[in-house]
Amino acid sequence: MTPAGSASAAAYARAVARFHRLAVLGEAAAMLGWDAAAMMPAGGAAARGEQFAVLAGLGHGLLTDPAAAEDLAASGVAEPWAAANLALMRHAHARAMALPADLVEAQARANAACETVWREARREADFARVRPLLETVVRLAREQAAALAEALGLSPYDALMDGYQRGIGAADVAPIFDRYEAFLAAALPAAEAYQASRPPPRPIPGPFPIAAQEALCRRLAERAGLDFAHARLDRSAHPFCGGTPSDVRITTRYDEADFAKAVLAVLHETGHALYERGLPLAHARQPVGEAAGMAAHESQSLIVEMQACRTDAFLGWLGPELHAAFGGAAELYEPANLARLWRRVERGFIRVDADELTYPAHVILRFRLEQALIGGDLAVADLPGAWNDGMRALLGITPADDAEGCLQDIHWYDGGFGYFPSYTLGAMAAAQLMAAARRQTSKLDTAPGLDAALGQGDLAPLRAWLGTHVHAQGSRLGFNELMRAATGKALDVADFEAHLRARYLPS
């Protein structure tokens, strides 16, 4: 990656070494984060918060060292990957310089403390228990947003969004979400009416032993292409993908009455894991070798779970696998019944359990509320009421308690403001990428079409296409540039709407 000769090349080489060390610190924090969610006893929370704070402080110090600024200013590179890497380095440096070290460490401590109490508050549906800690998290997030906004020339909320998906702001997202809200207002009742005219799904009775679910989930992740020499599957309160590209950690949660929750979560997290495993090894531990942002990341989880593994073709292969694992009446595992079970439209309270059609409404609600929280237009004390009002407006339902409402997600309690839009942007991108993959692979004489392969439980053709067009690109391209290169156009909501019409409103 380093050009030969010249002072600018030497400066760039030093910057590369610095960012390598920074990435290793990030990897250490990622593994501690996985452990906190999957393995750590409750009594370790205070010490873990201090560990996060020290690592965050060390990373911030590496970026704000005067020598870093000197090297970045003196660096000059022409090779495209190196030039992209240098631009990303400079952007990361600008963000770090905007934030005082004491704020970075205070946020790490506050986020860890709040997340720990949130787990208890959610279990007990007791927002009051976590409210004081969330108020601290929000206050610090506002300070962070204001400092970043001034340095980057963005609005405070856009400055937070920039940390998750660079180049996409609220002004880009708001019209997309407004369009979808209008689409949903007509499509949801139509889908419900169509669904009501069809035979209802036949539930598959349990119990489903957790050991059998876990074994099946591991087999499905392997079938999708995950190499467990570089991965683990564990349990956590909230399914996630963490770890590092060479040591990926995915988690799920199990319910003996419903195996689908674990199975679909693992397929989703496997999509994330495959992206991490497919990142360009030649640029490992450099900004350009990382994923292209969280909307890009969500597109990879959703293209596996929603676009591939909920198709009729894949369900036809999966049904016998499920029957072999859990037994019972074979007809309950037929693809038509699985489709009615797993593609059922239902107005529900829990985002992670939502169907494709209503899921964006959950994100739109959070997008609007977190803008108000960061902008100071919504007090933390008023969050539960504002949440319930928003759910009524978007889906016509009201949560019974705050565990079904504003306590359900970890993100805000861990300081993750600006993240939520990535979920629906990713869903839209997944539909667009899948349409392009189908078009392009159908032209190849040497490989079966995507759907023919999915009918054999084979994700290899899709994985190969994504590996070339998304995974191997790292963060060399911005989100819309990546979409243009892979599909021929920037993000276009039309592909997502067409997918939903075909699946939920067939003519």
pLDDT tens track of the chain, all 507 residues? 444 468 999 999 999 999 999 999 999 999 999 999 999 998 998 899 899 989 999 999 999 999 999 999 999 999 999 999 999 999 999 999 999 999 999 999 999 999 999 999 999 999 999 999 999 999 999 999 999 999 999 999 999 999 999 989 999 999 999 999 999 999 999 999 999 999 999 999 999 999 999 999 999 999 999 999 999 999 998 899 999 999 999 999 999 999 999 999 999 999 999 999 999 999 999 999 999 999 999 999 999 999 999 999 999 999 999 999 999 999 999 999 999 999 999 999 999 889 999 999 999 999 999 999 999 999 999 999 999 999 999 999 999 999 999 999 999 999 999 999 999 999 999 999 999 999 998 776 555 689 999 999 999 999 999 999 999 999 999 999 999 999 999 999 999 999 999 999 977
Four-point Cα dihedral 437, 442, 447, 453, nearest 10? 70
Nearest Cα residue to 289 out of 277, 297, 300, 280:
280
| pTM (two decimals) | 0.91
What's the CATH class of domain 210-344+446-504? Answer: mainly alpha
Asked if 305 and 267 count as a contact pair (C-beta separation under 8 A), the reply is yes
Asked if 244 and 27 count as a contact pair (C-beta separation under 8 A), the reply is yes
Give yes or no: 269 in active site.
yes
> Catalytic residue among 79, 181, 214, 269, which?
269
120 vs 442: CA distance, rounded Å:
50
Q: What is the pLDDT of residue 148?
A: 97
Q: What is the pLDDT of residue 442?
A: 75
Q: What is the pLDDT of residue 507?
A: 72
Strands 247-252 and 231-235 come out as parallel
Q: What is the pLDDT of residue 3?
A: 46
Four-point Cα dihedral 78, 79, 80, 81, nearest 10? -130
Q: What is the pLDDT of residue 441?
A: 86
Other residues' Cβ atoms within 10 Å of the Cβ of residue 267: 25
User: Helix-strand-coil percent breakdown of the chain, rounded to 5?
Assistant: 70, 5, 30
Q: What is the pLDDT of residue 478?
A: 92
Nearest Cα residue to 473 out of 206, 197, 81, 114:
81
Asked if 36 and 84 count as a contact pair (C-beta separation under 8 A), the reply is no
Four-point Cα dihedral 438, 476, 164, 276, nearest 10? 60
Query: Where do the CATH 1.10.1370.30 domains begin and end in the chain?
Result: 210-344+446-504
